Structure 1
Amino acid sequence: MDTLSNLADGFAIALTWQNLLLAFLGCFLGTIMGALPGLGPSNGVAILIPLAFTLGLGATPALILLTSVYYGAMYGGRISSILLNIPGDEPAMMTCLDGYPMAQQGRAGEALSLSGIASFVGAFFATWGLIFLAPQLVKIALLFGPAEYFALFALAFATLGGVSSTNQAKSAFAAALGIGLAMIGVDTQTGVPRFTFGEVHLYDGIDFLVAIVGLFALSEVFIFLENRHGEAEGAGKKVEIGRLTPSWKVLKDCTPTMLRTSGLGFIAGVLPGAGASLGSFISYSMEKKLVDKEGTFGKGDPRGVAAPEAGNNAAAGGALVPMLALGVPGSGTTAVLLAVLLALNITPGPLLFTQNPDVVWGLIAALFIANFMLLAMNIPMVGMFTRVLMVPPRILMPIVAMVSFVGIYGISGSSFDLLVMVGFGVMGWVLRKLDVPLVPIILGTLLGNAMENNLRRAVTIDNGNWWTLVDTPLAAGLWIVAIVGFILPLIFGKMVKSKMRRQGDEEGSLRD
């Protein structure tokens, strides 16, 4: 009953005009950003961080805006997948397999509405999962000491590259780079400046919001400038939307699929590092084995649209569980949201539910509201969102750059931070060209100091004994999971990736 009364308090916070307006704005902007090929939820949230801080929003309103953008971008990713066969981001890749053939058959509106309904079902069940699972995780987290926290952070670094990474060595390099960036500034224990090279502005360390906006938003501007994405503009004009709502028969056929894949996706989201990409892949693969008796998957089967969409949206909700309960992000976007919490002087983890219950429950209530808003918005406004795909990059990218520069200057008032942001933008562009994942860098920058402090504390408490890091069953268990989580993708990661590609190629050739 405590949980439900806390949720009722959360709705009292979320149902103010300001918060409802922010949730609507977040859903609308998130859907647009998700629809634009290449932007995706991580970039969408990163681009709007400066806006949230420039508006001077408090903790709860800022998080409501940014998590609504997160959910909106997860919805929006399917628009370019279905209409152009270009995934808005990695989790939307599996939606291309049946969504694009449906669009070619003149059923684009039906595919878009069905994917919106499946996204709603996945996110709705995931939000209930978050409500009941996160407080239970908090009880376990209260058993954690410095050694356990150090092992938990190591687990996050070991798994966040995960299956979504093309190369574990590149993920490890990115994590090491992030931890190195976290070391910049004055050492909290000795007061000695580290890696500042005599630059006074670096004594406080690198502001992770500057790093995030540079790595995600500005690097996206550089990528667009380089590639121009010209072909996406013309393709958007040729698509026929057709009828907007799926028939009752299609909905009835897809309901069991949506329910099954919501559960699968949620589990994939809760596991650190698995995330929405794995959620959508497992959901599609399982449904294909389970219900594809006539071999219709890949040729425009509505269930092939419902499965990955319910799976990846459930995973998006699931990824919030370890972020709120343990302070360890379950996905790239939750790593960005973690940075926002830290910038607002709120420490995610077990004490968050007791020290800032208004923030947690207001946020959870806002997720429900945002979900219903997205469902109501996405079906009637499908035609308008498809026109977003025709916005030329020469208009879009200067807006992204302007929001980044004005927002960061508004937060810090420092021209030095703008130079640092440009530096991170160039670094993000180079790393993306080399196929090095950016999320472990952000994770390293965010958790590096906490990881170092817990390591020092654990070893100091036990008089310099390094075995203290594996002394307790909980710490040893976390280390085992971290090692297995790092090694498994080496064995299965390439297999899963090649299977995803092979599935796409096979079904593409079947369509041709």
Structure 2
Amino acid sequence: MEFLSLITPLFLALVVGGTFVGIIFGAIPGMTATMAVAVCLPLTYSLGLENGLALLLGLYVGGISGGLVPAVLLGIPGTPSSITTTFDGYPMAQRGEGEKALRIGITSSFIGGIISLFALYFFAPTLADFAIEFSYVEKFLIILFALTVMAALSKDMLMGIFSGFLGIFIALIGTYDISDGGNGKLRLIPPGTEYWLDSGFSLLPVLIGMFGLAAILDEAELGVPKGQSKEDVKIGSGSTFSFSVFKGQAVNLIRSSGIGTFVGILPGVGGSAASILAYSNAKTFSKTPENFGKGEPAGLIASESGNNGLTGGALVPLLSLGIPGDSTTALLIGAFTLQGIQMGPLFIGNNPDTWNAMIFAMLIANVAMFTMMYVAIRYFALVVTIPKHVLFPIILMMCVIGAYTINYGIMFDVWTLLIFGLFGWVAVKLRLEVAPFIIGFILGPSAEIYFVKSIESFGDLTIFFTKSWIAVILWVLIIGSLIASVYMSKRQRKLEARLL
């Protein structure tokens, strides 16, 4: 119980404050939980590991939950994970039940978050203990499986694969270190850039650029609207909220939370897939599916419990395997990098106090989210009226300062921020998949090291197929994910052809 010494007033204040700021980010359309974590990531350097994680986990939970505010009141998802919340939340608001819809969503978010937290607490250590036995071969195949899963669940399988390997390719820029099995020489560096790219692109400026600056550029292209008027966000008083609305919804809550947790465990899938799968399952098993999309509380419950179930699930592969579950947890790797800590199977065993502090921070963040939003939802609803032309210059300044100071004042990191901010903005237009790119960028160097070390240790490519029964199972999963992706792609094309 030594971790209790880490639970200081500052720790609690950072969790609650991070949750509050995350709710605000999530409640403003275009400003996501990922963006909140990216912007605040540099602050964690001076806070220390546990306090820094307290802030970031609060931002994560608050940001995912805050997206329901504009989804219900304006029909605009505040975050990608709130897409299906608009289906039934907005119709409820239109008929004067906005406050009721918000409270249903808040309660569902809390339950989904708690269920996923239990899954994280019990499943991650078990998976980590199992993964400790992995050799370089199994570790390489785990990363390969993560990349194929991302491709399978991308909008376009080939584009997802291309994006992932593009991220790996860019991550290999720099010195090919002898300790990694290389020759100590520079590689993939354009002439004249050797001085700046000796160590490749720094992870944190890349992350801040892709998720912070790119989002600002995307919104600026749309003209940066002044914001909604207060008349647009009236939450109504036509029907009061009662917990009796959850009567008969226990199965829906547990199933949707479980779906969200499972989707979170799959690398690079994201909250939108979690909420869509939870919503579609709720509609499939409902006795009145015709009511979905017309203001059905069961649809709202499924969406919000599903997307908040993602929060704990996405941390499972991160803390047990060192593989981020989504783009936001990819940013958490930056916090560990700042503190010089390597993620992977040994993390939980070597850092039990930090592990317990993270679980406690997630619990407090969920309780704080529920309390703040349930009590003060009328005030949080007004957040959508804040003009973006006021917010974006402040956020841009924080991005630049964070990128510059992250490595003790290197100006090239600011250029890295600009380069990858522009790239992230253009990537969406080229239909590149940002999540596979980022996770490929993070996992690329490790994949290379594991591959080279496997060859050095065993001297034969066949070892990747015959090393152990675990390797065989991983190959089955890799091939299965590719076959499933081809099947889903063909099915989607047929469905689109019918609609046309």
Does TM, scored on the shorter chain, surpass 0.5? yes
How has the CA–CA distance of structure 1 residues 325 and 305 changed in structure 2, closer, same or farther, with 3 Å as cutoff? same
Query: In the aligned structure 2, how far is the partner of 1:498 from the partner of 1:77?
Result: 32
Distance 1:403 1:499 in 2: 44
C-alpha contact 2:268 2:436 (8 A) present in aligned 1: no
Look up the match of 1:483: 479
DSSP 3-state at the match of 1:233: coil
Instruction: Give 1:160 deviation, angstroms.
Output: 2.1
For residue 201 of structure 1, give the secondary structure of its aligned residue in structure 2.
coil
Identity %: 34
Give deviations 1:99-137, integer Å, cap 9, x for gaps: 000110111111111111100000101111111111110
Corresponding position of 2:132? 142
- Alpha carbons of structure 1 residues 494 and 304: separation in structure 2 relative to 1, 3 Å: farther
Do structure 1's residue 37 and structure 2's residue 29 form an aligned pair?
A: yes
Cα-to-partner distance string for 1:328-369 (whole Å, 9 max, x where unaligned) = 112221222123323322111111012112221111111001
Match of 2:231 among 217, 233, 237: 237
TM-score, length basis structure 1: 0.90
Change in Cα spacing, 1:497 to 1:329, as seen in structure 2 (3 Å) is farther
Kindly indicate whether the alpha-carbon contact (under 8 Å) linking 1:146 and 1:454 is maintained by their aligned counterparts in 2.
yes
Q: 1:436 to 1:291 in 2, by over 3 A?
A: same
Matches within 5 A, 1:214-253: 214-230=209-225, 233-234=227-228, 237-243=231-237, 246-253=241-248
User: Displacement, 1:490?
Assistant: 3.3
Does 2:306 match 1:293? no
SS in 2 for 1:57: coil
- Deviation, 1:146, is 0.4
Residue 424 (structure 1) aligns with: 420
Q: Are the aligned partners of 1:156 and 1:329 in contact in 2 as well (CA < 8 Å)? A: no
Residue 32 of structure 2 contacts residue 78 of structure 2 at CA under 8 Å; is this kept in 1? yes
Aligned partner of 1:510 in structure 2 is none
1:405-444 matches, cutoff 5 A = 405-412=400-407, 413-444=409-440
Find the aligned partners of 1:127 and 1:265 in 2 and give their Cα distance.
Answer: 12
Query: For 1:408 and 1:220, how far apart are their aligned partners in 2?
Result: 16
Change (3 A) 1:169 1:137: same
1:449 is paired with a residue whose SS is helix
- RMSD of Structure 2 on Structure 1 (CA): 2.2
| Equivalent residue, structure 2, for 1:195 | 188
Aligned partners of 2:25 and 2:32 also within 8 Å: yes
**Greater Cα offset, 371-380 or 387-396:** 387-396
CA contact (8 A) 1:322 1:328 kept: yes
- Name the count of aligned residue pairs: 489
Alignment of 1:376-391 (within 5 A): 376-391=371-386
- Whole-Å separation in 2 of the counterparts to 1:494 and 1:9: 54
Structure 1 window deviating more from structure 2 (306-315 vs 336-345): it is 336-345
Task: Find the partner of 2:9 among 17, 23, 42.
Answer: 17
TM-superposed CA distance for 1:14, in Å, is: 5.3
- SS across alignment from 1:480: helix
Contact conserved, 2:81 with 2:275, CA < 8 A, in 1? Answer: yes
Is 1:178 aligned to residue 167 of structure 2? yes
Offset, 1:316: 2.2
Runs of 5+ unmatched residues, structure 1: 1-7, 506-512
User: Residue 65 of structure 2 corresponds to which residue in structure 1?
Assistant: 75
1:259 Cα deviation (Å)? Answer: 2.5
Give the direction of change, closer, same or farther, for the CA distance of 1:234–1:365 in structure 2 (3 Å limit). closer
Q: Which residue of 1 aligns with 2:158?
A: 169
Task: Give yes or no for contact 1:335–1:439 (8 Å, CA) kept in 2.
Answer: no
Distance in 2 of aligned mates of 1:250 and 1:167: 39
Distance 1:419 1:151, change over 3 A: same
Cα 1:497–1:124 shift into 2, 3 Å? farther
Structure 2 letter corresponding to 1:146: Y
State the AA in 1 paired with 2:443: L
AA at the equivalent of 2:35: N
Change (3 A) 1:341 1:490: farther
What is the Cα deviation at residue 375 of structure 1? 0.5
Alignment of 1:51-450 (within 5 A): 51-53=43-45, 56-163=46-153, 165-189=154-178, 190-196=183-189, 197-198=191-192, 199-230=194-225, 233-234=227-228, 237-243=231-237, 246-293=241-288, 295-412=290-407, 413-450=409-446
C-alpha distance in 2 between matches for 1:218 and 1:442: 15
Q: How far did 1:497 drift?
A: 10
Q: CA deviation at 1:499?
A: 7.9
Q: CA deviation at 1:291?
A: 2.5
- Secondary structure of 1:378's match? helix
The CA deviation at 1:9 is: 4.5
The answer (yes or no) to whether the contact 2:268–2:439 under 8 Å persists in 1 is no
Contact kept? 1:237, 1:390, Cα under 8 Å: no
Of 42, 64, 74, which residue of structure 2 is paired with 1:50? Answer: 42
CA distance in 1, matches of 2:38, 2:270: 18
Separation in 2 of the partners of 1:497 and 1:144? 39
Equivalent residue letter for 2:244: K
The residue type paired with residue 20 of structure 1 is L
- How far 1:400 moved relative to its partner? 1.3
Kindly indicate whether the alpha-carbon contact (under 8 Å) linking 2:217 and 2:425 is maintained by their aligned counterparts in 1. Answer: yes
**Partner SS state of residue 294, structure 2:** coil
* CA spacing shift, 1:287–1:200, aligned 2, 3 Å: same
| Deviation for aligned residue 1:484 | 2.1
Check conservation: 1:29, 1:69, Cα contact below 8 A.
yes
The residue type equivalent to 1:241 in the other structure is I
